[in-house]
Amino acid sequence: MEKQKKLRSVSDTPKHKIGEIFATGFFAILSAIIVFPVFAGLLASFRPGTQLIRRGLAIDLDISTMTLDNYTYLFSGNADSQKYFMWYKNSLIITLASVVLTLFVCYFVAYGLSMYNFRLKNFLFFLVIATMMVPFEILMLPLYKEIIKLKLIDTYAGVIVTGICSASTIFFFRQYLSGLPKELLDAARIDGATEYGISVRIILPLAKPAFASMGILCAMGSWNAILWPLLVLKGANKFTLPIGLNTLLTPYGNNYDVLIAGSMFGILPIFIIFLIFQRYIIEGMTTGAVKG
Amino acid sequence: MKGKSGKSLTAKNFLYSQKVAPYVFVLPFIISFALFWIYPLITAITMSFQDIGAISSEWVGIKNYTKLLKDNVFHIAIKNSAVYMFWTLVLLIPFPMLFAVLMDSNLVKAKGVWKAILYMPALTSVVISGTLFRLMFTEYPTGQMNLITQALGLGTFKWLKMGWSGMAALLVVACWRWTGVNMLYFLSGLKAIDTSLYEAAEIDGATGWQKFRYVTLPLLKPTTIYVLTISIYAGLAMFLESYMLWGGNNSPNNIGLTIVGYLYKRGIEKNDMGYACAVGVVLLVIALAINIVQLILNGTFKNEEE
């Protein structure tokens, strides 16, 4: 009680108020700097693409010169628009499939690594860490040849399959699961639950926050992935959104209308998911980075 | 249960036993590890000793590596990646840490808003952010960066045509993308620190700096190691930021060429897989060496065994 009183009195002092203004102001300015490129891009998406090339991302708040032309063009259903939404659909399919597969596979692997004591446990966990220590880019070329051999080139499966057992996701899940009381398992066993039943019915519901946070991180990674899809997907009808947008980046700039409007519209789904699941991102990070 | 034969029952019992279950759980990892990690890793190493042709491949020993030693373009790539990594460590660890400490204090209002905004760049694809920054770093006087330098009386720069400013542009993109993410890492580390430690320090009469130095910093160490590890890795393997900033894998005088950029150029654009794999192996050795030294210095492996 006494302490609370003390805190309240501290937050009322003029010194504290000034600190509050400076600290909050600092983050407001930092946020403004961070928002700037996207805001400028958003403004530019309401102007013809030719202006973008001539003037760069000039901040021009004159509403009278703004038009929705780029967006009406994007949604017009013409060839460019169809192409764009095909990429969009491809990205959605790949993202959804890889998030679902990655989450469940990684959860069960992490479950095995954290809930049991078995001979290979430490060795396998060491291997999980080891895979994180090797940049994907080194494996990229042999993996590319392997995917060709497996006849998975130019398929969604080829894009997804190499990333399902994501070491970082296993790591996060393991950290999260190690924090749960093991007595839960013994209690369930006494009640006659099987090992797999426990993992699905008892522990999985408890790991929901970890699923949410890993889900959004995986979704972001998959939605924005470029390098690997760029190698695997060959046909323009298989392209994901980032790769498709990248093909619009010709030096002649005749596609900048679609590019800028499409870029802004492409941020949207991930942004909405982020706003909904925001707190889970931070919670997920807590379980991962804190215990190291 | 009754309908099942004794044999399948024992097989089921076996699969469901507490001894076997963990292996069933980790099986997907073992398969994925073999197929998509150890196999390509070994292939990358063996390919680096070969001259990979369209039809047949020839064993050439260490020729690819001796060629790398004399390859000036590769040296530029290593230098660029190393400089980039160094500066991302300098810029993206202390500052996000301080921002997190400030954010964690009771001084900041509307925390949720700032956290969400600072995290936003991580949500955008490199294709989009790279394009936006390319437009901002344009050499025309109407570009944002040139507007800033003109306002400061420094005139205009051809940002993406000079070594130092090209690197600066890459670092601006890196800071823009990762400051918020790293801040959130540190923030979650701070949340895990027991507040009673600060109270104890206060009772002992510790100043704000002393509390930071003797409570926050040591207890943030696991988070710091984590951020350091991923930053070293990400810095050395950076490629797409450069690819997007220069609109392709070509920058004037290779000012934006990174190790992975060179690997991509050799392996994919010039179809010289053997040589590209040698580049990859060198990257692997550098990344591993730095990270292992860093982890040993920080005593991470000791903790793991406990």
pLDDT in tens, chain A (292 residues): 444 445 555 566 888 888 889 999 999 999 999 999 888 888 888 888 777 777 667 777 777 778 888 888 888 888 888 989 999 999 999 999 999 999 999 999 999 999 999 988 999 999 998 888 888 899 999 999 999 999 999 999 999 999 999 998 998 899 889 888 888 888 889 988 888 999 999 899 998 888 888 888 888 889 989 999 999 999 889 999 999 988 887 666 567 788 888 888 888 888 888 888 777 776 665 555 544 4
Q: Are residues A58 and A189 in the same domain?
A: no
CA–CA gap between residue B19 and residue A35 (Å, rounded): 53
Q: What token pair was written down for A156? A: 């969604």
B253 and B144 in a common domain: yes
Length of chain B in terms of residues written: 306
Helix B111-119 × helix B163-191 angle, to 10°:
140
Q: Which two tokens stand for residue B199?
A: 């109270």
Predicted pLDDT of residue A291:
46
From the list B22, B240, B244, the residue facing A112 with the nearest CB is B22
| Same domain (yes/no): A163, A258 | yes
Domain boundary among A71, A89, A115: A71
pLDDT per residue over B188-198, tens digit each?
A: 888 888 888 88
- Per residue in B4-24, pLDDT tens? 455 566 777 788 888 889 999
Angle at A135 between CA A131 and CA B50, to 5 degrees: 100
Q: Do A108 and B25 touch (CB under 8 A)?
A: yes
Reference A20, options B289, B105, B147; nearest CA is B105
Tokens coding B146: 């040139």
Q: Do A134 and B284 touch (CB under 8 A)?
A: yes
Residue that is written with structure tokens 């923030």 in the block: B187
Radius of gyration of chain A (CA): 24
Contact B144 A57 (CB under 8 A): yes
Residue % of chain B over a pLDDT of 90? 42
Mean pLDDT of B90-103: 94
Give the confidence band of B2 by pLDDT, cuts at 50, 70, 90: very low
Nearest by CB to B135, which of A56, A111, A195? Answer: A56
Domain boundary among A22, A43, A71: A71
What was the pLDDT predicted at B85? 96
- With respect to residue B52, please indicate whether it lies within any of the assigned structural domains: no
Q: What's the confidence (pLDDT) of residue A292?
A: 40
Q: Same domain for B38 and B131?
A: no
Q: Is A38 in Cβ contact with B132 (below 8 Å)?
A: yes
Residue B184 pLDDT > 50? yes
Q: Are A101 and A144 in contact (CB under 8 A)?
A: no
pLDDT at A287: 52
pLDDT at position A283 is 62
Q: Which residues of B touch A141 (CB under 8 A)?
A: 44, 47, 263, 267-268, 273, 276-277, 280
> Are A100 and A158 in the same domain?
yes
- Residue B169: pLDDT band with limits 50, 70, 90: very high
Instruction: Single out the residue in A55, A71, A87 at which a domain terminates.
Output: A71
CA–CA separation, B117 and A32 (whole Å): 9
* Closest listed residue to residue B154, CA positions, set B167, B164, B166, B141: B141
**At what angle are helices A256-289 and A208-224 packed, to 10 degrees?**
150
- For B148, residues 6+ apart whose C-beta sits below 8 A from its C-beta are none
In this structure, what CATH number is given to the domain that contains residue A128?
1.10.3720.10
Please indicate, yes or no, whether residues A59 and A95 belong to a single structural domain of this protein: no
User: Does residue A230 share a domain with residue A160?
Assistant: yes
Whose CA is closest to A170, among A98, A94, A97, A112? A112
pLDDT of residue B168: 93
Q: Chain A contact for B18, CB < 8 A?
A: yes
**Chain B stretch 34-53, residues whose beta carbon is closer than 8 A to a beta carbon of chain A:** 35-37, 39-41, 43-44, 47
Determine the distance in angstroms separating the CA of A77 from the nearest CA of chain B, rounded to an integer. 23
* Residue B58 within any structural domain of the chain: no
Report how many Cβ contacts below 8 Å link chain A to chain B: 280
The answer to whether position B64 is within a domain reads no
Q: Which residues make Cβ contacts (< 8 Å) with residue B126, sequence separation at least 6?
A: A224, A226, A242, B240, B241, B243, B244
B228 with B202: CB under 8 angstroms?
no
Rounded CA-CA distance B194/B196 in Å is: 5
In this structure, the answer to whether residues A109 and A210 fall within a common structural domain is yes
Average pLDDT, chain B: 87
The answer to whether residue B159 is domain-embedded is yes
Q: Is B281 on the interface with A (CB under 8 A)?
A: yes
CA distance A263 to chain B (A): 6
Whether residues B43 and A146 touch (CB distance < 8 A) is answered with yes
- In a mutagenesis test of the B interface, which of A127, A204, A290 is the best target, namely the one with the most B β-carbons within 10 Å? A290
B126 in contact with chain A, both atoms CB, cutoff 8 A:
yes
A47 touches A264 (CB < 8 A): no
pLDDT tens per residue, range B220-268: 888 898 889 889 989 999 999 999 998 878 888 899 999 999 999 999 8
Q: Are residues A116 and A67 in the same domain?
A: no
Predicted pLDDT of residue A2: 46
Domain that holds residue A216: 77-289
Contact residues for A195 (Cβ-Cβ < 8 A; gap 6+): B16, B17, B18, B21
Give one word for B110, left, alpha or beta, with left for phi > 0 and alpha for psi -120 to 50. Answer: left
Q: Chain B closest CA to A292's CA: distance in Å?
A: 5
Nearest to B64 by CA among B240, B288, B304, B281: B281
Q: Tell me, yes or no, whether A221 and A131 share the same domain.
A: yes
Give B-chain residues touching A56 at CB under 8 angstroms: 135-136, 138, 140, 142-144
A54 and A150, same domain (yes or no): no
Overall number of domains in chain B:
2
Residues B16 and B89 occupy one common structural domain: no
Are residues A158 and A152 in contact, defined by beta-carbon separation less than 8 angstroms? yes
Subunit contact A282:B184, Cβ cutoff 8 A: yes
* B57: phi then psi, degrees, rounded to nearest 5: -120, 150
Question: Do residues B275 and B67 touch, judged by C-beta distance below 8 A?
Answer: yes
Contacts of A194 in chain B (CB under 8 A): 16
Residue range(s) defining the domain that contains residue B37: 6-47
End-to-end Cα separation, chain B, in angstroms? 44
Nearest to A220 among B32, B122, B267 (CB): B122
A134 and A187: one domain?
yes
Residue B141 in any domain: the answer is yes
The answer to whether residues A174 and A55 belong to one domain is: no
Query: φ and ψ at B58, to 5 degrees?
Result: -120, 135
Asked whether residue B93 is assigned to any structural domain, the reply reads yes
Number of domains in chain A: 2
Return the SS3 of A238.
Answer: coil
Residues of A in contact with B103 (CB under 8 A): 27
- Same domain (yes/no): A59, A154: no
Domain match, B113 and B24 both = no
Q: How confident is the model at residue B183 (pLDDT cuts 50, 70, 90)?
A: very high
pLDDT confidence of residue A9? 54
Domain check: are B37 and B141 in the same one? no
Residues 59-98 on B with a CB inside 8 Å of A are: none
The amino acid present at A274, given as its one-letter code, is F
Does residue B217 sit within a domain? yes
